[in-house]
Structure formats: structure tokens, C-alpha cells
Amino acid sequence: MESNTSDHKNLKKLYDKGYGHFKNEEFNKTIEYCTKIIELDSTHYSAWYLLGKAYLKRGIKDSNNEDYYKAIESYRKIIDLNIKKSNLWHAWEGMVSVYEELGNDMKVKECHDKRKEAENEYIEYLTKPKYMSAGRNKWITAGAGSIDDFIKTFEALAKKFKQWKEWGIKLDPYSSTEDNYAEFYTHDMDVAIKANFMITLLGDDENMYLLKDTGKEVKEVKVPKELLEKHKN
């Protein structure tokens, strides 16, 4: 196996080879490649998922219960790490398959219910319109001249996010917080205005807007003037 696997391109090559072995029912090799990927990137969703499938298939082939439990561990890792939340129901579905092989009807039902819950949550997220805002993570303490400035900055941020939480604002679970921005959302226009999700458009000095994700597109929605006036008071 390759020794230089530090970048995404080489991880993909490793995964493709592992998947090729899986299609050829060479499950030992699949497990070897997936394990190597996970050593390099412990949050690699596809590697964990393929690892679970490989253990399951090898368990069926060899009638080996130990492999079944290793498959469960792989799927559980996806769930516990909340990797690729949009695909969490696939991990629950994998666990359903394992517990069916083990003949554990109670666990089959439990995991099936969790799968449906995760799927419905994602469908609702995609289809229910929501108002979005991006918060900058970088440079939040730019210009600080003392430790007191840091304290004031972070106390103000904590106060804001506690208030947002009380209003039902949520961190977008399907976006990344690893870069400079974090995305937040609410389904309530009134809350979005209170939280100052508002933006201005170039050349429009008269109106304020919100970004609204309809599930099909993100568009600007003009804020009614009466709601603006309401939150000025």
C-alpha cells in the first residue's frame, strides 16, 4: 500500500482500491484499506461506511459473529462522530442489516426507528424554508489590546449565542465549522430579524433583506418595514 497518503487525492485512491476489493468480495483487503484511511483521517465517512459493509459481508461469508460486532462498531462510529449528518440514516440502515443477521429483533426495530427519524430530520431540513446567517469565526479578536478586550469579546459572544439558543436558532448541522464561517438558521422571520440576520443589497439603501433557503434555492427576501420598526423599539 502507498506510504504517501496525506492529501485528499491519495485518500481517494486508497478508497477506490478498497472499494474495488469489496466488489471482488476480497473483504480482508477492503478492511485493510479502510483501516489505513481511518488512521489518516478518523472522520472519513466513506471509509467507515465501507468498513462496516466489509465486516458485515465477511461475517455472513464466514458465519463470524465477531465481524458482525465490528460492523456495528464501524456504523456506530459514524453516528457518534456525527460524520456527514445528511447520510446518518445509512449508518442506521447498516446496523439494521447486522442485527437482522444476529436475529436481534428488538435492536432491528430500534435501529429502523432511528433510521427513519434521521431521514425525516434531513428531509425536513431540506424542504422547510429557513432564514440563514453566516457568522465569522476568524478575526473576532482583531484589534484587542489587552486580555480584558478578549474577555469582553467572548462574554459578548456567549451572551449572544445564549440568546439565540433561547430563540430557537440552530447551527446548520450540514455545514462545516472548520473554515472561517459558521452558518446559523431559523424558520421564523421574526426571530431572524431580532437576531440581526439582515443584509443590504448593493444599490438599495431603502430596504433590508434576509437570506431564505427554500430547499431549492437561496434568495433574498425583503423585510417588511413594520417588522423593522417593531424591533427598533
Predicted local distance difference test score (pLDDT) of residue 140 = 86
Q: Which of 103, 126, 149 is the last residue of a domain?
A: 126
Q: Which of 111, 126, 141 is the last residue of a domain?
A: 126
Predicted local distance difference test score (pLDDT) of residue 4 = 43
136 and 205 co-located in one domain: yes
Predicted local distance difference test score (pLDDT) of residue 5 = 39
Residues 6+ apart with CB under 8 A from 134: 181, 182, 183, 184
Predicted local distance difference test score (pLDDT) of residue 3 = 44
177 and 76 co-located in one domain: no
Predicted local distance difference test score (pLDDT) of residue 138 = 80
Give tens-digit pLDDT for 81-117: 876 667 889 999 999 999 999 999 999 999 999 999 9
26 and 120 co-located in one domain: yes
Q: Is residue 1 part of a domain?
A: no
Which structural domain range is residue 196 located in? 130-232
142 and 186 co-located in one domain: yes
159 and 186 co-located in one domain: yes
Domain count, the chain: 2
Under-50 pLDDT residues of the chain? 1-5
CATH number at residue 82: 1.25.40.10
Q: Exposed, middle or buried: residue 227 (CB in 10 Å: 0-12, 13-18, 19+)?
A: middle
Predicted local distance difference test score (pLDDT) of residue 123 = 84
Residues 6+ apart with CB under 8 A from 65: 59, 102
Cβ contact 174:85 at 8 Å: yes
Q: Is residue 2 part of a domain?
A: no
- C-alpha cell, 232: 427598533
